Structure formats: C-alpha cells, structure tokens
Amino acid sequence: MTDNCTILAGIVTYNPDLDKFTECLEAVLKQIDNVYIFDNASQNIDQIQLLLKKYESQVILYKNSCNDGIATALHNIMEFASTNHYDWVLALDQDSVLQPGIINYYRKAINKCPLAGMFTCQRTDRNFHENIDNSSKKAITKVPCCITSGSLTKVKAYNETSGYDKSFFIDAVDFDFCFTLREKGYKIYRINRIGLLHEVGHGENRRFLFKNIIIFNENPTRIYYMTRNKFKLFKKHQEYSLPNLIYRECELFFRLCLYEKDKTKKLKMFFKGLLDGITAS
C-alpha cells in the first residue's frame, strides 16, 4: 500500500543558525523517523556534530569537504535514498520548520495522485505576512513548479530524469528540476494547507506605487546566480519563455536599484551574471 511508503527527510546545511536548525530537526523528527543531512563544509561543523549526538539513532550526517552548492547536495541525498530503498524524499532547508500533520496529508495525497512525481504545500515566511493562495477550494491542486524546501519527491520518478543540474549551483535548482520532472510526464501537486514555516533571505515588504514588493536582501553571490540561471532555464526548457526571462531580469534589476542594500556590489554581480548567462552555451 502506498500509504505505507518509506520517506527519508533530507536537509542541506551550510553554516546554519543552530537554534533554527534545531527547531527544523525536531519538527521533522516528530513526523519522519530518518533524516539524512548533507553538510556543505560548514564552519560550525563541530557544533553541528555536537548537536546531532542527541539524535544519532535517527540522523545520518554526510560531511562534504567543500561547498559544492545545493544541486550537488540534493543529488547526493536522492542517491542515498535510492540506494537505501526509500520511496520518497522530503527536502528541507536548514531553517525550515515542518508544521504538524503535513506528512499525513502527503501520504493521503500519494494514494490519490498516481502520476505524481512531487508534492508541495503552502508555506509562510518568518519575515513577513504572505498572501496565501486560497483561490482553490480543492484539497489538492496541480501546480507547474515549487520550491525545494517542503517538497516531497518520488525517488522512482527522480531516477528517470537527469536529476538536479549541478551547473546551477544554488539558484533555480528547484525550478529546473520541476521542468525536467514534468517533461518526463510526471505531475506536481500542492496540498492546500500551510505545511512549512520558512525564510527566504532577510525579507522585507516595500511599496512601489500601488503594488507590494518583497525585498529579500540576498548576498551579491546569490544575485549573480539568480541572474545567470534565468538564462540557463531559458536555454534548457521551452516552457521558460523569452518574455518571462526578460520580465524576471528587469524585475530583479529595478529591485536592486530601488530597494536593495549594497547596490554597487549587487549590480556588479547582476551584470556579471547577465554576461555569463548570455554568452554561456
């Protein structure tokens, strides 16, 4: 029976805030028995290992020798799940907190959606009040894409794709894989319940004319990959159209100019990402 399927939780860590990481870990262990942690060469790895001693019967830690990015980490987690015969993998950011009962909703949805390759849920951000999409009265809705944190991926479906693209490194890894998964004929479904408390950058709400704008205050390196990887999506997937590419790049540029801190550094990385995105094959 699919409701007895085995689920592995996978968490990627990189210099985590230990209080938030502990909250993340304890929340998921209330719903899933086994957690695999891929650490991307955190500077506070000794503290992480000390913290994990309390959970050593349920947690496996893989210590990577350098920061190879989120895509490599997720690929490693999926390989571990496949080798150890797990059916599904729940991916979490190091500061994401799984909400009570959401895994039971995922398990019920698995039975109802035989073509599903991935599930996601509604989420809320620590930094500000988000407008949750309540437009659908359905318990489960088909969606085109979702973020990695809180997603539940079918291992069999993953193994039929090319997997996470390591060249993306940190940004748009999730959307690239969603496109790849759907190109193989699998569907992505959202459970219409808030199942995750998470945090994107250091978010702030701002107002531009009559529109609310979310400012994430990402670091300059992240701005580079955000810019470059939009071009990679456009070149790799027909679904990511040229108008979408232009709109997203212009949106990021004006947000940097109007609201972000460290504008000079971030704009420099924006134009570097723009150049590399255009010229890369």
The CATH number of residue 62's host domain is: 3.90.550.10
- The pLDDT of residue 4 is 82
Check if the beta carbon of residue 37 is closer than 8 Å to that of residue 22.
no
CA atoms of 185 and 162, how far apart (whole Å): 14
Are 37 and 157 contained in the same domain?
A: yes
Cα dihedral sign, 118-122-125-130: positive
Check if the beta carbon of residue 224 is closer than 8 Å to that of residue 270.
yes
- The pLDDT of residue 115 is 94
Check if the beta carbon of residue 190 is closer than 8 Å to that of residue 145.
no
β-strand 97-98 against 7-13: which pairing, if any?
unpaired
DSSP letters, 39-52, are: E---TTHHHHHHHH
| Domain containing residue 220 | 204-279
Are 156 and 242 contained in the same domain?
A: no
Are 141 and 247 contained in the same domain?
A: no
Are 55 and 79 contained in the same domain?
A: yes
CA atoms of 229 and 240, how far apart (whole Å): 12
Are 153 and 216 contained in the same domain?
A: no
Residue 112: how many CB atoms within 10 A of its CB?
A: 11
- The pLDDT of residue 125 is 80
Are 135 and 237 contained in the same domain?
A: no
Are 161 and 241 contained in the same domain?
A: no
Q: Closest Cα to residue 88, out of 59, 69, 109, 68? A: 109
- The pLDDT of residue 126 is 72
Residues in the chain: 281
Q: What is the number of structural domains in the chain?
A: 2
Single residue among 150, 181, 198 that ends a domain in this structure: 198
CA atoms of 184 and 118, how far apart (whole Å): 12
Are 220 and 179 contained in the same domain?
A: no
Check if the beta carbon of residue 8 is closer than 8 Å to that of residue 36.
yes
Single residue among 151, 180, 198 that ends a domain in this structure: 198
- The pLDDT of residue 35 is 98
Are 159 and 209 contained in the same domain?
A: no
Give me the average pLDDT of each 10-residue run along the chain (281 residues). 82 96 97 97 97 95 96 98 98 96 96 94 76 65 96 98 95 97 97 88 56 74 96 95 94 87 94 95 70
- The pLDDT of residue 1 is 41
Are 155 and 43 contained in the same domain?
A: yes
Are 113 and 194 contained in the same domain?
A: yes
98 dihedral zone (left: phi>0; alpha: psi -120 to 50; beta):
beta
CA atoms of 7 and 102, how far apart (whole Å): 13
Are 22 and 161 contained in the same domain?
A: yes
Single residue among 198, 220, 247 that ends a domain in this structure: 198
- What residues form DSSP beta bridges with 197? 97, 124
- The pLDDT of residue 272 is 97
Write the single-letter amino acid at 38.
F
Q: Closest Cα to residue 265, out of 235, 227, 221, 232? A: 221
